[in-house]
């Protein structure tokens, strides 16, 4: 007889881990205990040596699919007098905390949901140990019902019985409930509940209405994606002419009808995270208004029971099998979480609000993935992924908060070797998002039981995120924006040696007070040297120049080249040239994003962005539609210690070619090819100043999969190792991770600022 203690560290909370341990202990004839300690699960088992060995084997081999075991520590204990195996009450101890992300409804629950003989038939909150909300309903750890927003719903005797019965799928499933004891659907502002509320919602959608529906991490705006009129109405009232809407499809069959689904994409689409996946659109039933001028479509499968019921319910209503499902938020503000949020912000947009009385504690938008090089590529990391940590093999010795950037804010809390990215917060130009950021930091610090000793922020003097960093009253370290982009990719790949970092991006504050955004660095985790950039140009007109690409085109090109391109009226152009000459509202910029905007305008594709990156996306789509070879461009890049990519000459070439009637798609493609070639050339020039043959590609522009592909191929052909983003985001959503990595690597080496908010 022997007795062992196993400490299992990882995502072992709220995934049915203790019931699983209980089952395999009994199966292998072991006595002992299992206890949820918060940071880990502690197991004591006692049996013959062979039985314990069999138990140990099962522990790893048969662990629930949603768990993630990071390590198992083992200890031998003295044998005790004992008769059975027991699950003990949770005991909180200090240590690393792993909070489970929310998990999409599992196939078993899906089956029960539509089984008339099941007592949870059509129950909109059905869940089990393998599925259901986690992070978004959690108050504190360890994960037990009393510490979730389910604490207001005492279990009925039948649920209680399942909850305590070892043979049940809901043994110790914290959010367990049923039609008798669970939360309830209702229509906001009306006395309509339960199945009537659902029926009326379905009716409204079929009749061409727009409804707000409370999901797992917030509200969605939903309408029939096969009805052009309602989709157009949604566009008009949201003032969103271009930005594509995500579409929830009834099932995988419908997904295959609407989009090309290739190698491995089905698995990601149908995985238990259920993200939005960007796919090639097919001619299906989804109307073009859902994603105008866009060859791609973001599809998502239902992941909350209420969403399944939207599609299928035993009433006489014939629902469409594709629904627009877009985050319900006022422009720029975070996703609506409470009824109050919706009433205040969206009452004039939607015809109906389907809510429920299970509170959402922490917002989580749907995650968005793109596809690159046979693998998923993160665009927005939120529900289903957050707060799954990135684990480093290197241990820091403090707690650091990377507070994130200004757009697409996501922060990252890091302790020792674990980096926990927050769910998506939003754009901080909106004060409500700043408030949401503040709340989310507090909640995450509470949940993970850590308090950051150091906060890392961007250097931009006008950023709200920077101001908040100083307001929190802890030591602050500033990290340059594009360097943070590179660091985020290095963190994901656990790299700390010197690399060539290429950061192509929209806008970021440079060390010299100009706008950066097309940068070549030689850097490690401590410092960076800027060795090259795109050719600087004068960005005229402040914020307008980020929205209206034609302004940059006028500023970049000579008069004889922009004339005849129909970019703007003569007097508009004159004004820009005057401001440029007198340096009024003008800033020097190397932003790649702005060059993409300018080229899009020059080629007559898009003069204005109605949403972020619209002009560059349209430029990319045009290039991707081209089947031939790129034009020969007779411009070469000079060699220098600090090299410049000759963008003005390239823009001039494109303008002249456009005027002489060259094919637009060919020119768009040529622009991509030349840029990628120069990026590779830049890497070669940089590599003369470093031993490193490793290139890191980051920044928002690197979400352009055509550019990314062209760069990667050419760089690899030149013998470089190329690192790109996969599970972290290359846009500003990844900044927090990079900042946290910087803080952790430098907290003991760098003098940090503890003063008040410094004005620049
Ligand atoms: Zn389930
Ligand atoms: Zn019940
Ligand atoms: Fe950026």
For 375-392, the pLDDT digits (tens) are: 999 999 999 998 888 888
C-alpha closest to that of 362 among 446, 429, 301: 446
Distance separating alpha carbons of residues 98 and 454, to the nearest angstrom: 21
Would you give the DSSP letter of residue 363?
A: -
**Ligand 2 centroid vs 119 CA: distance in angstroms?**
9
Average pLDDT, the chain: 94
- pLDDT of amino acid 16: 78
**Ligand 1 centroid vs 114 CA: distance in angstroms?**
13
* Other beta carbons less than 10 A from residue 639's beta carbon: 10
Ligand nearest to the CA of 405: 3
Distance separating alpha carbons of residues 472 and 475, to the nearest angstrom: 9
**Ligand 2 centroid vs 361 CA: distance in angstroms?**
22
What average pLDDT score do residues 513-523 get? 96
Contact 54/62 with Cβ under 8 angstroms?
no
**Ligand 1 centroid vs 360 CA: distance in angstroms?**
19
Spell out a b/e string for 654-693, using b for 16 or more CB atoms within 10 Å of the CB, else e: bbebbeeeeebbbbbbbbbbbbbbbbbbbbbbbbeebebe
Distance separating alpha carbons of residues 547 and 539, to the nearest angstrom: 11
**Ligand 1 centroid vs 216 CA: distance in angstroms?**
15
**Ligand 3 centroid vs 337 CA: distance in angstroms?**
27
**Ligand 2 centroid vs 180 CA: distance in angstroms?**
5
Ligand nearest to the CA of 120: 2
Contact 242/265 with Cβ under 8 angstroms?
no
Residue linked to tokens 């990628």: 676
**Ligand 1 centroid vs 66 CA: distance in angstroms?**
11
Q: Bridge-partner residues for 278, per DSSP?
A: 298
**Ligand 3 centroid vs 517 CA: distance in angstroms?**
8
Going by their DSSP bridges, the two strands 31-36 and 515-523 should be labelled as unpaired
Q: Answer whether residue 9 shows pLDDT above 90.
A: no
Distance separating alpha carbons of residues 402 and 409, to the nearest angstrom: 11
Residues present in the chain in total? 760
Lowest mean pLDDT among 89-93, 223-227, 495-499: 89-93
Distance separating alpha carbons of residues 339 and 354, to the nearest angstrom: 9
Ligand nearest to the CA of 698: 3
Find all residues with CB under 8 Å of 368, minimum gap 6, and list them. Answer: 246, 275, 276, 277, 278, 298, 378, 379, 380
Contact 138/147 with Cβ under 8 angstroms?
yes
Per-residue pLDDT tens over the stretch 673-708: 999 999 999 999 999 999 999 999 999 999 999 999
**Ligand 3 centroid vs 483 CA: distance in angstroms?**
10
Per-residue pLDDT tens over the stretch 444-463: 998 888 999 999 999 999 99
What average pLDDT score do residues 721-733 get? 96
Find all residues with CB under 8 Å of 719, minimum gap 6, and list them. Answer: 693
- pLDDT of amino acid 96: 67
**Ligand 2 centroid vs 557 CA: distance in angstroms?**
69
Q: Answer whether residue 755 shows pLDDT above 60.
A: no
Would you give the DSSP letter of residue 224?
A: E
Confidence of residue 94 (pLDDT cuts 50, 70, 90): low
DSSP string, 51-94: HHHHHHHHHHHS--TT-EEEEEEEEEE------SEEEPPP----
**Ligand 2 centroid vs 141 CA: distance in angstroms?**
24
| Percent with pLDDT over 70 in the chain | 98
**Ligand 2 centroid vs 184 CA: distance in angstroms?**
12
- pLDDT of amino acid 571: 93
Spell out a b/e string for 19-52, using b for 16 or more CB atoms within 10 Å of the CB, else e: bbbbbbbeebbbbbbbbbbbbbbbbbbbbeeebb
**Ligand 3 centroid vs 503 CA: distance in angstroms?**
8
Token digits of residue 275: 């993200």
C-alpha closest to that of 479 among 446, 497, 501: 501
Per-residue pLDDT tens over the stretch 714-725: 999 999 999 999
Ligand nearest to the CA of 109: 1
Token digits of residue 474: 């802890």
**Ligand 1 centroid vs 170 CA: distance in angstroms?**
8
Confidence of residue 626 (pLDDT cuts 50, 70, 90): very high
Residue linked to tokens 């043994």: 171
Per-residue pLDDT tens over the stretch 273-319: 999 999 999 999 999 999 999 999 999 999 999 999 999 999 999 99
Ligand nearest to the CA of 463: 3
Find all residues with CB under 8 Å of 295, minimum gap 6, and list them. Answer: 280, 281, 621, 624, 625
Per-residue pLDDT tens over the stretch 139-177: 887 778 888 999 999 999 999 999 988 778 898 888 999
Ligand nearest to the CA of 123: 2
Lowest mean pLDDT among 54-63, 570-579, 694-703, 745-754: 745-754
* Other beta carbons less than 10 A from residue 634's beta carbon: 7
Handedness of CA 313, 318, 323, 325 (dihedral sign): negative
Contact 358/150 with Cβ under 8 angstroms?
yes
Ligand nearest to the CA of 160: 2
DSSP string, 579-614: HHHHTSSEEEE--HHHHHHHHHHHTTS-SB-SSTTH
Q: Answer whether residue 756 shows pLDDT above 70.
A: no
**Ligand 3 centroid vs 476 CA: distance in angstroms?**
20
Residue linked to tokens 């209503």: 317
Q: Answer whether residue 332 shows pLDDT above 60.
A: yes
Ligand nearest to the CA of 177: 2
Per-residue pLDDT tens over the stretch 734-752: 999 999 999 999 988 776 7
Ligand nearest to the CA of 519: 3
Distance separating alpha carbons of residues 279 and 609, to the nearest angstrom: 23
Handedness of CA 429, 597, 644, 694 (dihedral sign): positive
**Ligand 2 centroid vs 220 CA: distance in angstroms?**
27
Distance separating alpha carbons of residues 180 and 157, to the nearest angstrom: 10
**Ligand 3 centroid vs 743 CA: distance in angstroms?**
18
Ligand nearest to the CA of 406: 3
What average pLDDT score do residues 424-452 get? 92
**Ligand 2 centroid vs 124 CA: distance in angstroms?**
13
Token digits of residue 137: 């309903």
Q: Bridge-partner residues for 456, per DSSP?
A: 402, 477
Q: Answer whether residue 620 shows pLDDT above 90.
A: yes
Contact 520/683 with Cβ under 8 angstroms?
yes
**Which pTM does this prediction carry?**
0.91
Ligand nearest to the CA of 127: 1
What average pLDDT score do residues 18-38 get? 91
Token digits of residue 457: 């922020």
* Other beta carbons less than 10 A from residue 154's beta carbon: 11
- pLDDT of amino acid 11: 76
Q: How many helices (H) and strands (E) does the chain have?
A: 23, 30
Q: Taking ligand 2, which is a single-atom ion, which protein residues have CB atoms under 5 Å away?
A: 156, 159, 178, 180-181
> Torsions phi, psi of 185, nearest 5?
-80, 150
Contact 738/508 with Cβ under 8 angstroms?
no
**Ligand 1 centroid vs 113 CA: distance in angstroms?**
10
Confidence of residue 641 (pLDDT cuts 50, 70, 90): very high
Ligand nearest to the CA of 16: 1
Per-residue pLDDT tens over the stretch 168-217: 889 888 899 999 999 999 999 999 999 999 999 999 999 999 999 999 99
What average pLDDT score do residues 564-577 get? 93
- pLDDT of amino acid 287: 98
- pLDDT of amino acid 456: 97
Distance separating alpha carbons of residues 254 and 183, to the nearest angstrom: 30
Per-residue pLDDT tens over the stretch 463-511: 999 999 999 999 999 999 999 999 999 999 999 999 999 999 998 999 9
The full 3-state SS of 130-163, as one line of letters, equals: CEECCHHHECCCCCCHHHECCCCCCCCHHHHHHH
Rounded to the nearest 10°, the torsion over CA 371, 373, 377, 379 is -60
> Torsions phi, psi of 420, nearest 5?
-105, 105
Element (H, E) at 674: helix 664-686
Distance separating alpha carbons of residues 604 and 690, to the nearest angstrom: 41
Torsional class of 249: left (φ above 0), alpha (ψ -120 to 50), beta (otherwise): beta
Ligand nearest to the CA of 505: 3
Ligand nearest to the CA of 183: 2
**Ligand 1 centroid vs 269 CA: distance in angstroms?**
18
Would you give the DSSP letter of residue 488?
A: H
Contact 51/30 with Cβ under 8 angstroms?
yes
Ligand nearest to the CA of 485: 3
- pLDDT of amino acid 540: 94
Confidence of residue 754 (pLDDT cuts 50, 70, 90): low
**Ligand 3 centroid vs 737 CA: distance in angstroms?**
13
**Ligand 1 centroid vs 631 CA: distance in angstroms?**
55
Find all residues with CB under 8 Å of 380, minimum gap 6, and list them. Answer: 365, 366, 367, 368, 408, 424, 729, 733
What is residue 424's three-state secondary structure?
A: coil
**Ligand 3 centroid vs 733 CA: distance in angstroms?**
8
Ligand nearest to the CA of 176: 2
What is residue 414's three-state secondary structure?
A: strand
Ligand nearest to the CA of 488: 3
Element (H, E) at 379: strand 375-380
**Ligand 1 centroid vs 129 CA: distance in angstroms?**
6
């Amino acid at each position: 007889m022997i007795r062992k203690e196993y400490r299992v560290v990882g995502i072992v909370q709220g995934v049915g881990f203790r019931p699983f341990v209980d089952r395999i202990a009994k199966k292998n004839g072991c006595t002992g205990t299992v206890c949820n300690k918060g940071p880990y699960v502690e197991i004591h088992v006692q049996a013959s040596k062979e039985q314990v060995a069999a138990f140990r084997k099962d522990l790893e081999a048969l662990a629930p699919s949603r768990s993630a075991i990071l390590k198992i520590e083992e200890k031998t204990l003295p044998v005790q007098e004992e008769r059975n195996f027991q699950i003990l009450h949770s005991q909180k101890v200090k240590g690393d905390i792993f909070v489970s992300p929310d998990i999409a409804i599992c196939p078993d629950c899906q089956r029960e949901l539509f089984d008339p003989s099941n007592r949870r038939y059509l129950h909109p909150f059905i869940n089990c140990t393998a599925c259901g909300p986690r992070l978004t309903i959690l108050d504190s750890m360890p994960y037990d019902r009393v510490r979730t927003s389910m604490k207001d719903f005492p279990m009925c005797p039948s649920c209680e019985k399942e909850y305590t019965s070892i043979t049940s799928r809901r043994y110790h499933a914290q959010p367990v409930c049923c039609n008798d004891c669970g939360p309830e659907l209702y229509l906001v502002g009306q006395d309509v509940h339960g199945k009537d509320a659902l029926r009326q919602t379905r009716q409204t959608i079929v009749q061409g209405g727009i409804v707000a529906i409370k999901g797992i991490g917030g509200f969605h705006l939903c309408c029939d994606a096969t009805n052009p009129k309602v989709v157009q109405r949604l566009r008009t009232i949201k003032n969103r002419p271009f930005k594509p809407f995500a579409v929830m499809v009834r099932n995988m069959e419908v997904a295959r009808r609407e989009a090309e689904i290739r190698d491995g994409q089905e698995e990601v689409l149908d995985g238990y995270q259920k993200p939005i996946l960007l796919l090639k659109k097919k001619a299906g039933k989804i109307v073009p208004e859902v994603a105008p001028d866009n060859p791609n479509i973001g599809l998502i499968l239902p992941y909350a029971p209420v969403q399944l019921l939207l599609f299928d319910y035993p009433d006489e209503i014939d629902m469409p099998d594709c629904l627009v499902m877009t985050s319900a938020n006022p422009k720029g503000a975070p996703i609506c979480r409470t009824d109050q949020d919706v009433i205040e912000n969206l009452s004039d947009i939607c015809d109906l609000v389907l809510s429920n009385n299970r509170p959402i504690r922490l917002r989580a938008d749907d995650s968005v993935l793109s596809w690159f090089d046979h693998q998923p590529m993160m665009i927005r990391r939120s529900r289903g992924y957050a707060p799954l940590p990135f684990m480093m093999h290197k241990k820091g010795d403090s707690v650091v908060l990377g507070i994130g950037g200004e757009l697409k804010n996501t922060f990252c809390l890091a302790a020792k070797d674990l980096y926990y990215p927050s769910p998506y917060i939003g754009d901080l130009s909106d004060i409500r998002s700043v408030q949401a950021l503040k709340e989310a930091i507090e909640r995450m610090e509470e949940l993970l039981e850590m308090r950051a000793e150091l906060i890392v922020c961007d250097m931009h003097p006008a950023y709200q995120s920077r101001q908040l960093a100083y307001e929190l009253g802890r030591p602050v370290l500033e990290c340059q924006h594009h360097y943070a982009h590179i660091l985020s990719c290095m963190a994901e790949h656990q790299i700390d040696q010197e690399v060539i970092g290429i950061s192509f991006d929209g806008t970021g504050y440079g060390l010299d007070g100009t706008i950066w955004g097309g940068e070549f660095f030689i850097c490690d985790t401590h410092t960076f040297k800027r060795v090259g950039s795109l050719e600087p140009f004068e960005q005229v007109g402040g914020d307008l120049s980020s929205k209206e690409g034609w302004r940059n085109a006028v500023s970049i090109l000579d008069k004889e080249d922009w004339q005849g391109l129909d970019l703007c009226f003569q007097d508009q152009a004159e004004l820009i040239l005057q401001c440029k000459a007198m340096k009024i509202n003008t800033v020097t910029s190397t932003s790649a994003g702005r060059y993409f905007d300018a080229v899009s305008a020059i080629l007559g594709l898009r003069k204005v962005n109605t949403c972020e990156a619209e002009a560059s996306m349209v430029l990319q789509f045009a290039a991707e539609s081209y089947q031939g070879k790129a034009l020969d461009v007779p411009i070469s890049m000079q060699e220098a210690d600090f090299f410049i990519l000759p963008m003005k000459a390239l823009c001039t070439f494109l303008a002249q070619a456009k005027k002489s009637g060259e094919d637009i798609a060919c020119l768009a493609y040529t622009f991509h090819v030349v840029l990628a070639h120069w990026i590779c050339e830049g890497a070669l020039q940089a590599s003369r100043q470093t031993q490193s043959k490793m290139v890191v590609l980051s920044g928002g522009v690197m979400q352009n999969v055509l550019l990314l592909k062209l760069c990667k191929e050419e760089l690899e052909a030149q013998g470089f190792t190329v690192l790109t983003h996969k599970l972290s985001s290359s846009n500003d959503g990844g900044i927090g991770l990079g900042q946290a990595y910087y803080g952790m690597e430098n907290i003991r080496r760098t003098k940090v600022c503890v003063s008040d908010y410094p004005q620049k």
